[in-house]
Amino acid sequence: MTPTTDLPTGRPAIAIAWECLSNFTHDDAFTARLRLRNDSNDAIAHGWTICFNTCRKVLADSVSAGYAVAHVNGDLFALSMPGGGAWLPGASHTVEYEALHWAISITDAPLGFYLLPGDGGAPVDLGDPEISPFVRPEQRHRMRGDLLPTADAAWRFEQDAALYRLPETLVGRITPRPQSAQFDGRRCLLSRHAPLSYDGALWNEASLLASMLGSLSGLVPGGSADLVLEVGAVENVEGGAPLEAYLLDIEPGRVRIRGASPHGVFNAIQSLAQLLGPNGELPIGRVRDAPRFGYRGIMLDVARHFADLTTVLRLLDCMASYKLNRFHFHLTDDEGWRLAIGALPELTAIGALRGVTRDGHPCLPPSFGSGADIDAQGGSGFYTASDFVTILRHAHARHIEVIPEFNMPGHARAAVVAMRERYQRLLATGDPEGAARFLLSDPDDASIYESVQLWHDNVICIALPSVDRFIETVVGEVCMLFREAGVPLRTIHTGGDEVPGGAWLGSPRCRALMQERGWTDVQQLHDDFTERCRTILARHGVAFAGWDETALVHQDGRMQPNLRFAGAGLQVYVWNNAWGRGQEDCAYLLANAGYEVVLANAANLYFDLAHAKHPQEPGYYWAGFVDSRNAFGFCPLDAGAMAGPDAMGRALDPQVLATLQPLDAEGRRRIKGLQGQLWGENARTRARLDYMALPRLIGLAERAWARDPGWQDMPEPDQRAAWALRHWNEFANRLGQRELPRLDRARQPWEYRLPPPGAVVRGGVLHANVALPGLALHYTVDGSEPCVASTRYDAPAPVYGAEQVKLASFDTRGRGSRTVTLNLTPSVDTP
């Protein structure tokens, strides 16, 4: 156990260790052990409590005798020792318990421990536990029926065996791949003083281009080529967003950029940036291009963990460089409200703070390991009006539309708590009318429910008139901020997902409204709320969007399109279509029924999910494991063509695939595009956000922009797989040889995920490969950690007599991947 070392002198220091004992305890429960030791010189008073966050619900009846674990709310749990005495120095507590589901990786371990002393003293943050390795089968597999192997070195070597490094001339120069690009081998030069002419409407694009050229030399041999920017027709291209088309014509003395609109000119500049060498060299040639889909987005969740202003601006820059054009800004959820609303200061004064305050100031409880300190990184924070306007202007200059999301009626606990505190404060001052003006909860609600994220009070009481007033106020202020930024507000996303069963059933206000309207089903109550939201947004000239549950009803044993809102301008983001869960064709059902659909498929486009089944890979995996190849290999208009196994590695029933509803002709036109999701539960730091986002974001950009590769049109599965593999090999080379080095050269280099090598030792010879050809591999045989000064792996290498080999992949800055350790007797990838 590693003791806590960063506590003030005289404060308790507690060493914490955690281990998954077995996932085979029950079909849907595992056993774990928690060890805690008082490493301070002082006794901890009787009545102490240790709190922690865990995504795996502890079963209270399973806890070791003499101890109790209570579920506080959400993912917060509290361990105590009823009847126990003081916790003496050096004394340890060992607690075993069972929890729902399974634990196979570091993400499944509890985290964010803090002590509530029994003497009433201030809470003490203890940090995260030391996590025991996952080495035995019952620790590495979710249940006995888990058929998916651990992604160890041997597994990776086999998976990547068909990949090989391509000559530079066969690797695409532009990502996403353009519709047409031809170069003749000659070069021209640009300098930072290159003559630049442009239409007046292209001042923004010209400014961005001039900034891009600022790093080049001021003088080049023979003089710089001229730059011409213009708006005009772009012929011989096809796609779903004709105004984004462009022509990039590079001649010996002139570079001409023509866009069908300023956005097209901007897209051309991004391609120019990828072609431009560090010395200002450009290949002579011509590029014609336009995107396949008009909607190409990234969703960033800042409610679970706050991302500061510079992190958001940096992500927008990365999106723009790969021609992504929608930023879905998930600003609110149960765990945080992140945008200041001047008329309702409690939303951020309370709803943007997580922790345990010493003065009793209300705030939200710690979540996802944010700890007791309300100033801890990620747990607390919000955007001021000025911050938000800066984000809007930054995005708009890069032709990215910002779609703010305010999640309701579920996933709304931060707002519910903030408005409840406002209610109590004004009620205490003798202002009951003002207190109830923005109330979001029924004080007499006795509903019993538990959300997917284990909350018991996170749903808005949608029968209250004050709810409409709240929404109207928030929407009005958001519209004002967009006007201040000089940016059009086209769409607001209202969430609408995962309302738990049982919500509203115990609310007198909801029951009264249902009786008044003659409703017998809470679905009718929910539909009425959706209609009211849509009406409020329409009054402000704003389109309405929501997650797929907004447009679904439960019928005939599964979720079916709710025809009430079909064709009513509701844009639906469909996520819950992981293989084996029974909703695989949900997006197509909704599109065929008349809804405009954005594909947000969990099994391909959830970038918070772990890249692979390995104990050290961060991220959830409820919909499977998602790496860059999953995003790249997605067939948006025929997902079944490239269907993989379910999350447990089991092959899908062919009859299930055969019954999936295909898109009809109108439905195909209603698929607006693709969006990658960066949910924030595990993005505690900017480095972790980088790791989760890239290079998967680039795979998404390729699939959303580039032409349909036609895999689904090949009737033979083997032929289809071979053609997809060929395309993946080229794209993997593009990432390894071009795009990741380009990210390394950024002003603020990205901490993207470097794939660990695959490796085996056969007959005393080391064989290794990597998922992204072009990345350097280095290894050691003396037990030391590999670095760029270690032996480079370029071909099978003898390692006779070595007891251990350690390998890693490296970027151009010398940053390494997770180290792979091969213990040669026996050969295993040590977690």
- Catalytic: 498? yes
- Within a 10 A sphere around the Cβ of 518, how many other Cβ atoms? 7
Which stretches within 594-680 are classed as H helix? Answer: 602-605, 628-632, 654-659, 665-670
Whole-angstrom Cα distance, residue 292 to residue 707? Answer: 6
| Omega of the bond leading into 826 within 30 degrees of 0 (cis) | yes
Phi (first) and psi of residue 234, to 5 degrees: -120, 115
Place of tokens 């120095």: 89
Distance in angstroms (rounded) separating the CA atoms of residues 311 and 686: 7
Torsion angle defined by CA atoms of residues 74, 80, 83 and 88, in that order, rounded to the nearest 10 degrees = -170
SS3 107: helix
Look at the block and give the residue holding tokens 């079963």. Answer: 59
Q: Which two tokens stand for residue 654?
A: 């062919």
Cα 663 → chain centroid:
27
Query: What string of DSSP letters covers 259-282?
Result: ESSHHHHHHHHHHHHHH--TTSEE
Distance set, CA 245 to CA 179, 237, 249, 384, 559 (Å): 10, 7, 13, 36, 38
Answer left, alpha or beta for residue 814, where phi above 0 means left and psi between -120 and 50 means alpha.
left
Catalytic residue among 450, 498, 531, 730: 498
Give the separation between CA 260 and CA 430, rounded to whole angstroms. Answer: 61
Which residue, among 586, 601, 665, 666, has the nearest Cα to 634 in the 3D structure? 601
Residue with tokens 């050809």: 773
User: What does the DSSP 8-state code read for residue 581?
Assistant: S
- Strand 558-561 to strand 570-574: parallel, antiparallel, or no bridges (unpaired)? unpaired
Q: Does the N-terminal peptide bond of residue 757 adopt cis geometry, omega within 30 degrees of 0?
A: no
- Cα separation, 344 vs 506, in Å, equals 28
- Which contiguous run of DSSP H or E holds residue 699? helix 696-705
Q: Is 57 exposed, middle or buried (0-12, 13-18, 19+ CB in 10 A)?
A: middle
Which residues sit opposite 489 in a β-bridge? Answer: none
**Sequential DSSP letters for 300-361:** EE-SSS---HHHHHHHHHHHHHTT--EEEEE-EETTEE-B--TT-THHHHTTT-BS--SS--
Would you list the DSSP string of 18-80?
EEEEEEEEETTEEEEEEEEEE-SSSPBPTT-EEEEE-SS-B-GGGSPTT-EEEEEETTEEEEE
Tokens standing for 441? Answer: 């909860």
CB 689 within 8 A of CB 696: no
Region of 760 on the Ramachandran plot (φ > 0 left; ψ -120 to 50 alpha; else beta)? beta
DSSP 8-state symbol, 756: P
Half-sphere exposure of 696 (CA within 13 A, CB side): 28
Phi/psi region, residue 498 (left: phi>0; alpha: psi -120 to 50; beta: rest), is left
At 243, is the secondary structure helix, strand, or coil? Answer: helix
- Asked if 808 contacts 817 with a C-beta cutoff of 8 angstroms, the reply is yes
Question: How do strand 124-127 and strand 68-73 relate by DSSP bridges?
Answer: unpaired
Active site residues: 498
